[in-house]
Amino acid sequence: KAGVTQTPRYLIKTRGQQVTLSCSPISGHRSVSWYQQTPGQGLQFLFEYFSETQRNKGNFPGRFSGRQFSNSRSEMNVSTLELGDSALYLCASSSPGGAQFVVGELFFGEGSRLTVL
């Protein structure tokens, strides 16, 4: 079974630009979460999607947004990039999710490393 795939793996942007990151979850997984990883801060929750609906959101400014498609693939977008947005952005999928949800294992991709100059 293929794992979580994130693209691109590396990218460099300048302040003020915007960026879109993509995530393909494990087949059959309908929940996709995004986390920002920075040195010393660990992983910070951005948002979670299930069946194309955002179910939860972390404490990030509105410049950070996301969406999920009908095939469960997800994208996140960061607009008006700032130097502090430089980080590793991790996508994780999980199963099963839904009304009888019980928190469980996250399966992470290898991340997209964003550098903002």
Interacting residues with another protein between 61 and 100 (CB under 8 A): 90, 92, 94, 97
Q: Is 58 one of the binding residues for another protein (CB under 8 A)?
A: yes
85 — phi, psi (to 5°)? -85, -5
CA angle 8, 25, 67 (to 5 degrees): 75
Q: Is 48 one of the binding residues for another protein (CB under 8 A)?
A: yes
Place of tokens 């590793």: 88
- Comparison of 31 and 85: residue with beta carbon closer to another protein: 31
Interface segment toward another protein; rule CB under 8 A; list 13-21, 37-45, 67-75, 77-85 = 37-45
Report the residue from 42, 62, 70, 84 that binds another protein according to the rule CB under 8 A.
42
Q: Is the peptide bond before 61 cis (omega within 30 degrees of 0)?
A: no
Report the residue from 24, 31, 68, 72 that binds another protein according to the rule CB under 8 A.
31
Closest listed residue to residue 49, CA positions, set 27, 29, 63, 28: 29
